[in-house]
């Protein structure tokens, strides 16, 4: 179970995270408020939270508050919450044809779904020592241990089974817009796939009445039929509605239902998933990121648990809605689909589509729109175009080293990347700001995520040495500062992964106070608390053989969204930003920072 941290630990960790962001006077005030909270109302709330947690052993203390945080937010999901991960191309070039890849990935996705539902999907396990635990013999032995004890057997060899309670929401699921708080909807009985092309909605069954998958050649035939349909794009594409403010969209959805679209919407909501076939070809990584993060708005249904997007040139990616689950569930799905569709593809470039009557099997959904709905779609499109217009996406690849060299120098690769982000911001804007790094707590039942706070007194001191006073320090001194950052970051990461961060705990206490109608404690009204939760640098990382790159929008208007990967011998980084920040310049500063850190670690003389 996810532990509720001790209150005194949470307050200490909170103050450690505040220290680099505040001057002495501000910090004194914040510390005083924190200590009062710890002794007074905070203690009462903490005891209530622990008692509540003890009464709800089937879940975790963060589950309810975290679902509410997402589902009560009224901001559009696109750019604010939905993230993307793009697939690597199929190693066999001729398999990157749009129809071939769409067929193979759809078949692999259905195979994954059927394996999962039948209870045959291999458990997700984090192996700290894969040589010992990620072996056939371990799997054979653990298979016979009763499940009440098997996790303990896994712990003995440093293998940690991860929570998979989010996985069922991958399929047949949608976030439904409702006033004040959205709802998650799942209908596991539905057998059809939703396909979007050119802003038009099509459905066809991929499972028969017994739940068996259609022959791949039939799926290929139906997709070919959709790709060759010459219907014009709708004048009022419905997809834009899913990019609206959630209350606005909830009211428009009610109009849609009242206007005779109930059955069509039901088909959209219950579909296995949404396959978006785009008519554009990807030109470069920036274009790829724009396509997968938001696309044109007409050929997406952002509320589906995920959209599998395949462009004209066979580039594939996933855009996922974030309230139902976190990156780990989506990543497992992507890894399996990539592996299966490339290693055991259902069809080949030589395969012929089945000679079936696709015009009978495929149904194009028609939506009845009145003037109010047409006006709503037009307005949604204007708002969507304006927000996308303001979004910049930029990226770099740093090829002067990666994970291998950093491990050889005994520093944490993630710590070095995060240090570079701090150093770069200091170089560009001369300040240290609130920074967020996501860390999965899936090692616990119903765990979600915890925040790592990468901005510390250590990164601040190190950044100032590199940016402002390079000539004053010897290479050894600079190396020492980097190692210090690495050690501290390692500790924060370990704490977060073990459910010992402070962010979720404080969030849970605040949520409890509000739900009980208690006046919001002064601690939460401190400007410093608000500032710490205004995450100007929001970061997330993943590395996988299936994924080329991932990214998300900034979480605040004056922020950066930083997606990054530290590979064996290079580092990739992409940054999203709005007009108040210059993402291109920030990336140049990141590149310079990485260069400096690597040079110092290689023992090069810096400065004078």
pLDDT the model gives residue 154:
84
Claim to verify: residue 176 and residue 157 sit in the same structural domain:
no
- Number of domains observed in the structure of the chain: 3
Question: For residue 1, is it within any domain?
Answer: no
Average pLDDT on 526-551 reads 96
Helix then strand then coil, in percent of the chain rounded to 5, is 50, 15, 35
DSSP 56: -
What three-state secondary structure class fits 231? Answer: coil
Average pLDDT over residues 171-177: 98
Q: At how many degrees (to 10) do helices 327-343 and 98-117 cross?
A: 120
575 in Cβ contact with 550 (< 8 Å): no
> What's the CATH number where 578 sits?
3.30.559.10
The answer to whether position 166 is within a domain reads no
Indicate whether 40 and 89 sit together in one domain: no
Cβ atoms of residues 570 and 592 within 8 Å: no
Confidence at residue 214, expressed as pLDDT on a 0 to 100 scale = 97
Q: Say if residue 15 is in the same domain as residue 112.
A: no
Closest CA relative to residue 194, chosen from 256, 265, 249, 242? 265
**With 80 as the cut, is the pLDDT of residue 151 above it?**
no
Q: Please report the pLDDT score of residue 159 as a whole number.
A: 87
- What is the chain's length? 608
Could you tell me if residue 74 is inside a domain? no
Q: Which residues contact 581 (CB under 8 A, 6 or more apart)?
A: 554, 558, 559, 560
Specify if 291 maps to a domain: yes
Pairing of strands 560-566, 537-541: parallel
What integer pLDDT is reported at residue 108 of this predicted model?
A: 98
User: Which tokens go with 241?
Assistant: 């509605």
Tell the residue number behind the tokens 């073990």, with chain if given.
498
Average pLDDT over residues 564-581: 96
Quote the DSSP letter at residue 471. Answer: G
pLDDT exceeds 90 at position 303: yes
Give pLDDT, residue 304: 98
Residue 472 maps to a domain: yes
Does residue 607 form part of some domain?
A: no
pLDDT at residue 320 tops 60: yes
User: The tokens of 425 are what?
Assistant: 């911001």
Q: Mean pLDDT across the stretch 161-186? A: 97
Indicate if 140 and 99 belong to the same structural domain. no
Shared domain check, 155 and 95:
no
Residue 178 belongs to domain with CATH number = 3.30.559.70
Contacts of residue 319, defined as CB under 8 A and 6 or more positions apart, other chains included, come to 82, 83, 84, 292, 293, 295, 300, 302, 306, 307, 309
> Which tens digits make up the pLDDT trace of 497-532?
999 999 999 999 999 999 999 999 999 999 999 999
345-392, pLDDT tens digit by residue? Answer: 999 999 999 999 999 999 999 999 999 999 999 999 999 999 999 999
Cα separation, 473 vs 486, in Å, equals 19
Q: Classify the C-alpha dihedral 589-418-329-132 as positive or negative.
A: positive
Q: How confident is the model at residue 396 (pLDDT cuts 50, 70, 90)?
A: very high
HEC readout, 263-315: HHHHHHHHCCCEEEECCCCCCCHHHHHHHHHCCCCCCCCCCECEEEEECCCCC
Same domain, 556 and 409: yes
Q: What is the pLDDT of residues 189-237, one digit of tens each?
A: 999 999 999 999 999 999 999 999 999 999 999 999 999 999 999 999 9
In angstroms, rounded to a whole number, what is the distance separating the alpha carbons of residues 313 and 101? 10
Which pTM does this prediction carry? 0.96
Question: Which one of 389, 416, 447 terminates a domain?
Answer: 389
Note whether residue 608 is domain-resident: no
Contact 327, 541 (CB under 8 A): no
Do 102 and 205 belong together in one domain?
A: yes
150: pLDDT confidence band, cut at 50, 70 and 90? confident
Which among 431, 385, 425, 387 is positioned nearest to 579, based on CA atoms?
387
* Boundary (domain end) residue, out of 338, 373, 389: 389
Q: Which SS3 state, helix, strand or coil, does residue 135 take?
A: coil
| Domain boundary residue, one of 326, 357, 389 | 389
Backbone angles phi, psi at 607, to 5 degrees: 85, -130
C-alpha–C-alpha distance, residues 333 and 86, integer Å: 13
Instruction: Please tell me the predicted confidence (pLDDT) of residue 179.
Output: 98
Among the listed residues 192, 255, 287, 322, the single catalytic one is 322
User: Same domain, yes or no, for 396 and 444?
Assistant: yes
Nearest partner of 106 among 286, 300, 295, 340, judged by Cα? 340
Radius of gyration of the chain (CA): 25
Strands 537-541 and 435-440: parallel
- Residue range of the domain that includes 553: 7-68+392-602
Residues 354 and 306 reside in one and the same domain: yes
Q: For residue 140, what is the domain's CATH number?
A: 1.20.1280.180
Same-domain check for residues 369 and 425: no
**147 pLDDT tier (thresholds 50, 70, 90):** confident
- 146 shares its domain with 199: no
> Does 31 reside within a domain?
yes
Q: Are residues 284 and 337 both part of a single domain?
A: yes
pLDDT of residue 477: 96
List pLDDT tens digits, range 237-278.
999 999 999 999 999 999 999 999 999 999 999 999 999 999
For residues 153 and 138, the answer to whether their CB atoms sit within 8 Å is no
Which of the four pLDDT bands, split at 50, 70 and 90, describes residue 607?
A: low
Smallest Cα–Cα separation from 80: which of 244, 239, 289? Answer: 244
Mean predicted confidence (pLDDT) in 155-177: 93
Per-residue pLDDT of 198-208, as tens digits, reads 999 999 999 99
Q: Determine whether 458 is an active site residue.
A: no
Task: Name the 3-class secondary structure at 167.
Answer: helix
């Amino acid at each position: 179970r996810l532990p509720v941290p001790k209150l005194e630990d949470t307050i200490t960790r909170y103050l450690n995270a505040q220290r680099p962001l505040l001057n002495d006077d501000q910090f004194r005030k914040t510390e005083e408020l924190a200590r009062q909270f710890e002794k007074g109302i905070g203690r009462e709330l903490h005891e209530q939270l622990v008692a509540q947690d003890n009464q709800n052993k089937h879940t975790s203390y963060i589950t309810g508050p975290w679902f509410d945080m997402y589902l009560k937010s009224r901001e559009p999901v696109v750019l604010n919450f939905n993230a993307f991960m793009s697939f690597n191309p199929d190693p066999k070039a001729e398999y990157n044809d749009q129809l071939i890849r769409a067929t193979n990935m759809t078949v692999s996705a259905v195979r994954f779904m059927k394996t999962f539902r039948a209870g045959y999907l291999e458990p997700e396990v984090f192996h700290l020592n894969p040589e010992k635990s990620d072996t056939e013999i371990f799997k054979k032995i653990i298979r016979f241990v009763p499940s009440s004890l098997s996790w303990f057997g896994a712990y003995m060899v440093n293998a940690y089974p991860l929570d998979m309670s989010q996985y069922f929401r991958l399929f047949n699921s949608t976030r439904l817009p409702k006033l004040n708080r959205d709802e998650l909807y799942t209908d596991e009985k539905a057998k059809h796939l939703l396909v979007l092309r050119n802003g038009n909605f099509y459905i066809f069954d991929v499972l028969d009445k017994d739940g068996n998958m259609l022959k791949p050649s039939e799926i290929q035939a139906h997709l070919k039929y959709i790709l060759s349909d010459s219907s014009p794009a709708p004048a009022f594409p419905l997809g834009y509605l899913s990019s609206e403010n959630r209350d606005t969209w909830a009211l428009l959805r009610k109009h849609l239902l009242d206007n005779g679209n109930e059955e069509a919407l039901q088909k959209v909501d219950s579909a296995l998933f949404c396959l978006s076939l785009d008519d554009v070809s990807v030109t470069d990584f920036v274009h790829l990121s724009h396509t997968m993060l938001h696309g044109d708005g007409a050929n997406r249904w952002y509320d589906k648990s995920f959209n599998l997007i395949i462009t004209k040139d066979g580039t594939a990616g996933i855009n996922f809605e974030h309230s139902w689950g976190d990156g780990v569930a989506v990543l497992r799905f992507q890894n399996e689909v990539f592996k299966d569709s490339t290693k055991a593809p259902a069809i080949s470039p030589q395969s012929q589509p089945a000679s079936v009557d696709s015009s009978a099997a495929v149904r194009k959904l028609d939506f009845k729109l009145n003037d109010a709905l047409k006006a709503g779609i037009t307005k949604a499109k204007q708002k969507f175009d304006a927000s996308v217009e303001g979004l910049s996406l930029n990226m770099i690849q740093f090829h002067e080293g990666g994970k291998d060299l950093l491990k050889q120098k005994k520093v944490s690769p993630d710590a070095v990347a995060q240090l570079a982000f701090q150093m770069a911001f200091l170089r560009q804007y001369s300040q240290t700001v609130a920074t967020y790094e996501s860390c999965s707590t899936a090692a616990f039942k119903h765990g979600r995520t915890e925040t790592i706070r990468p901005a510390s007194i250590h990164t601040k001191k190190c950044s100032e040495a590199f940016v402002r006073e390079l000539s004053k320090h010897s290479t050894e001194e600079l190396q020492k500062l980097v190692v210090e950052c690495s050690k501290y970051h390692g500790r924060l990461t370990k704490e977060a992964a073990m459910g010992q961060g402070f962010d979720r705990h404080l969030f849970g206490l605040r949520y409890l106070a509000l739900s009980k109608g208690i006046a919001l404690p002064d601690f939460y009204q401190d400007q410093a608390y608000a500032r710490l939760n205004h995450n100007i640098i929001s970061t997330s990382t993943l590395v996988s053989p299936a994924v080329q790159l991932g990214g998300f929008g900034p979480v605040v208007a004056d922020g950066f969204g930083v997606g990054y990967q530290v590979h064996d011998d290079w580092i990739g980084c992409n940054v999203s930003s709005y007009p108040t920040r210059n993402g291109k310049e920030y990336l140049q500063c990141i590149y310079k920072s990485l260069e400096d850190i690597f040079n110092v670690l290689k023992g090069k003389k810096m400065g004078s």
